[in-house]
A and B are shown apart, each in its own frame.
Chain A
Amino acid sequence: EAGVAQSPRYKIIEKRQSVAFWCNPISGHATLYWYQQILGQGPKLLIQFQNNGVVDDSQLPKDRFSAERLKGVDSTLKIQPAKLEDSAVYLCASSSLAVEQFFGPGTRLTVL
Chain B
Amino acid sequence: DQQVKQNSPSLSVQEGRISILNCDYTNSMFDYFLWYKKYPAEGPTFLISISSIKDKNEDGRFTVFLNKSAKHLSLHIVPSQPGDSAVYFCAASARQNFVFGPGTRLSVLP
Contact = CB atoms under 8 A, between A and B. Distances in A.
Are A and B a genuine interacting pair, yes or no?
Answer: yes
Given A95-B96, A99-B32, A106 B103 contact: no
A99 B6 CA distance: 21
A91 B102 contact: no
Contacts of A31: 96
Interface string A14-34: 000000000000000001010
B100 A44 contact: yes
A41 B46 contact: no
A102 B97 CA distance: 14
B41 A105 contact: yes
Nearest to A40: B102
A46 B77 CA distance: 31
Contacts, number: 52
B14 interface: no
Contact of B44 (A45, A91, A99): A91
A60 interface: no
B93 A93 contact: no
A42 interface: yes
Nearest to A99: B32
B89 to A, nearest CB: 5
Given A43-B89, A100-B49, A103-B45, 14 more contacts: A35-B100, A41-B103, A42-B4, A43-B44, A48-B97, A55-B97, A91-B44, A99-B32, A99-B34, A100-B34, A101-B46, A103-B36, A105-B42, A105-B43
User: Lowest 5 A-B CB distances belong to which pairs?
Assistant: A103-B43, A42-B100, A100-B46, A43-B100, A42-B102
18 contacts: A4-B43, A33-B98, A42-B4, A42-B6, A42-B100, A43-B100, A44-B100, A45-B97, A48-B96, A48-B97, A55-B96, A91-B43, A95-B96, A99-B93, A102-B46, A103-B43, A104-B43, A105-B43
